[in-house]
Structure 1
Amino acid sequence: MMSNETNNDDRAEAEFVAPDDQFANHEFVIPEVKVKLVADMQKWIKSQAYHDYVGFLTCLSTAVKGKPLSVDCLVSKPVEKLLEMLGRLSTLVDETPPVEQPQRFGNKGYRTWLNHVKDEAVDLTKTILPVNLHRAAEEVSDYLVQGFGNETRIDYGTGHEASFASFLCCLYRLRVLTPHDQVAIVTKVFNSYLDLARKLQRTYRMEPAGSQGVWGLDDFQFIPFILGSSQLIMHQSIRPKDFAKEDVVREYHSEYMFLECIKHINEVKSGPFAEHSSLLYSIGSVPHWGKVNSGLFKMYKAEVLQKFPVIQHFKFGSILSIEPNS
């Protein structure tokens, strides 16, 4: 199902043609939590969902190897619709200002924003899906809603990030997004999602979900470090030892996701980088970006995908199934 091939020479805009109707008789369902005990983690690791999710991220990482965010790439109709959707959600933030409240963190205006997202999620998802797959909208949109944080705690973390990546993975599994879209999924869609996630974090003063603080890679994100390190593979001048340098971040942050993450961390944290982000800082001792990329992917599996506190909130449906990978 997964392919590493990309059509980088095709610059013509793709027509929004419905995929072959392989899901004509498919019964879509509302995703549910199914990893309820630590013992259930083996079901997840051996599941079709785990296989497809990891495969999807691997494809995306490979697709943007050596490519800056400004790379010329195909922007298909589904990608356009995804960008329009994220733009709409960003506008909703502007229309839903923080409320006056005594506590500093966890502004309750976020809950109002998320309720708007819930109201619009199915219809927004239908704008991305071809008509013959509108039946899938409720299942797919559930991952979208879960991709921006927790309504009760008003926090955000790598589990929510994984839910949005799962939303994209579902579209890939449905063949709405194709291997030709892989570069744009990273450089356009996921990058726009990161902008929105950071806007939410700033606007509503969201708490990090399960943050490990100085001992973690980042308070909120992980995936952009994987994708961003792949972008920097084969770079002529930027080495891992250089990523925390002010002049490097200032000059290249808009082109490389990894460096944009560093810029954001520097804006929200104070003090020496080596002290407030020691684990991330240690990456500077790795000799080349290829090794950084593979190491981060292993770390992501171990510290996110194989951690019960994260996966206990993950939902499974008919597209990303808990059933064993065949």
Structure 2
Amino acid sequence: MAETEQPSGSSYEDDKPPNPVSFSFMVPKKEISMVPDMGKWKRSQAYADYMGFILTLNEGVKRKKLTCEYQVSETVEKLLAMLATLDRWIDETPPIDQPSRFGNKAYRTWYAKLDQEAEALVTAILPSERHDAAPEIAVYLKEAVGNSTRIDYGTGHEAAFAAFLCCLCKVGALRMEDQLAIIFKVFDKYLQVMHKLQKTYRMEPAGSQGVWGLDDFQFLPFIWGSSQLIDHPTLEPRHFVEEKVVNEYHQDYMFLECIKFINEMKTGPFAEHSNQLWNISAVPSWSKVNQGLIRMYKAECLEKFPVIQHFKFGSLLSIQPVKP
């Protein structure tokens, strides 16, 4: 896939604020209950819209630093305030003493608060004429922070947050001009809150492939982060395994921000604890890294039944086939 590949199906770029009668909002539900259902997902409007959203943002952040200048809209400010609230709730819900090292049960108390407040949090973000979309969109927010039964977090939860942002675009709360702020402000803050959740409550990786997976918890920041680094004058893929480079540039590049978190959380040689990333450091250019990660994301996340069986479909991300 060329890094300039444009999204198929209905893309975020086409999403003008929809006509008020465009959607009959509904509470999203699971539709992929067995492996043969995966064909429905890959042919669905939801898949086309989701991938379109990811690729449009991938194109938008190309060659840009986290610290570059961009517009911050009122909706983006509201999203940041919402994420700051989730962050504050972590501080207000300290981990409890328990025999088990992993999966601190205080997470369930934190999650119960979100479960109770999610609809109100989303309503506060939406324009008044779109408040009726809150019950549908709030489901994706609740799915985006991990599983309260298993106290785990993985790429399916991350995908739910991207779906949440995609839905906000589809109802016109976020616009085309918000592209950079969506990743550099909102998604970056989401990442910080998820890292804090994972550390505080010692969350287990959901469906981890161990050293053979890209990362225990995230995937999208590696895609968008590699796009940021395309054609960088000095930083090449081989440099991200050097701690000095990571410490110097992590505030500018999401990819290096993720590497810094891995370095803080894991001990031992990088090649052993993060073998896939170590292999990626041998790829000659960021453009090739970006293309390869998009292919890998489709194959390892979006086309894997254990991940997609939990994805929920409503009116905004529909299981219906793409219209020809």
Which residue number corresponds to residue 114 of structure 2? Answer: 117
Which 5+ residue runs of structure 1 have no aligned equivalent? 6-18
1:206-226 CA distance string (max 9 Å, x none): 000010111010000000000
Structure 1 runs (4+) deviating above 6 angstroms are none
Structure 2 residue 299 is the aligned partner of structure 1 residue 322? no
RMSD: 1.2
The amino acid of 1:247's aligned partner reads K
1-side partners of 2:167 and 2:12: how far apart? 15
* Aligned AA (1:241): R
Match of 1:2 in 2: 11
What secondary structure is seen at the aligned counterpart in 2 of 1:254?
Answer: coil
Counterpart among 92, 95, 101 of residue 95 in structure 1: 92
Aligned length: 313
Contact 1:21-1:132 at 8 Å conserved across structures: no
Match of 1:295 among 287, 292, 296: 292
Q: Residue 79 in 1 paired to residue 76 in 2?
A: yes
Give the Å deviation of 1:23: 2.7
Q: 2:281: which partner in 1?
A: 284
Deviation sequence 1:119-148 (CA, Å, 0-9, x none): 111111011111111000000010001100
1:54 and 2:51 aligned: yes
* Residue from 227, 244, 248 that aligns with 1:247: 244
Deviation at 1:178, TM superposition (A): 1.2
Q: Which residue of 2 aligns with 1:186?
A: 183
Residue type at the aligned position of 1:258:
F
* d(CA) in 2 for partners of 1:41, 1:282: 29
Q: Distance in 2 between matches of 1:2 and 1:26?
A: 17
1:219-255 Cα shifts (integer Å, max 9, x gaps): 0000000010001112111001111111110100111
| Distance of 2:56 and 2:181 partners within structure 1 | 12
Q: Which amino acid aligns with 1:194?
A: L
Q: Secondary structure at the match of 2:307?
A: helix
User: Could you tell me which of 36, 40, 44 is aligned with 1:43?
Assistant: 40
What is residue 204 of structure 1 aligned with on the other side?
201
Q: What per-residue deviation string (whole Å, max 9, x for no partner) do you get for residues 86-126 of structure 1?
A: 00110011111111211110011000001101111111101
User: What CA deviation, in whole Å up to 9, does each residue of 1:277-309 have, x standing for no partner?
Assistant: 111111111111011001100000000000000
Say which SS state the counterpart of residue 285 (structure 1) adopts. coil
Residue in structure 2 matching 1:306, options 303, 307, 319: 303
Q: Distance in 2 between matches of 1:108 and 1:277?
A: 28
Name the counterpart of 1:104.
Answer: 101
Q: Is the 8 A contact 1:149 1:157 kept in 2?
A: yes
Letter in 2 for 1:315: K
SS of 2:318's partner is coil
Q: Name stretches of at least 5 consecutive residues in structure 2 with no aligned partner.
A: 1-9
Whole-angstrom CA distance in 2 between matches of 1:247 and 1:102: 37
**1:323/1:87 Cα in 2 relative to 1: closer, same or farther (>3 Å)?**
same
Alpha-carbon distance, 1:21 to partner = 5.7
Distance in 1, Cα, partners of 2:145 & 2:209 = 19
User: Aligned letter for 1:240?
Assistant: P
Cα distance in 2 for partners of 1:312, 1:112 equals: 25
Question: Where does residue 213 of structure 1 map in the other structure?
Answer: 210
On the 8 A contact 1:208/1:220 being kept in 2, the answer is yes
- SS at the partner of 1:60? helix
Which residue in the other structure is 1:153 paired with? 150
Equivalent residue for 1:136? 133
How far off its partner does 1:172 sit? 1.0
Query: Which residue does 1:14 correspond to in 2?
Result: none
Aligned residue among 217, 232, 237 for 2:234: 237
How far apart are 1:275 and its partner, in Å? 1.0
Cα separation, 2, equivalents of 1:26 and 1:132: 13
Retained in 2: the 8 A contact 1:4–1:63? no
> Pairwise mapping of residues 157-176 of structure 1 onto structure 2 (< 5 A)?
157-176=154-173
Query: 1:193 and 1:130 mapped to 2: Cα distance?
Result: 21
Q: What TM-score do you get using the length of structure 2 for normalisation?
A: 0.94
Q: Distance in 2 between matches of 1:37 and 1:43?
A: 11
- Quick one: which of 67, 70, 93 aligns to 1:70? 67
TM-score by length of 1: 0.94
Matched, 1:266 2:263: yes
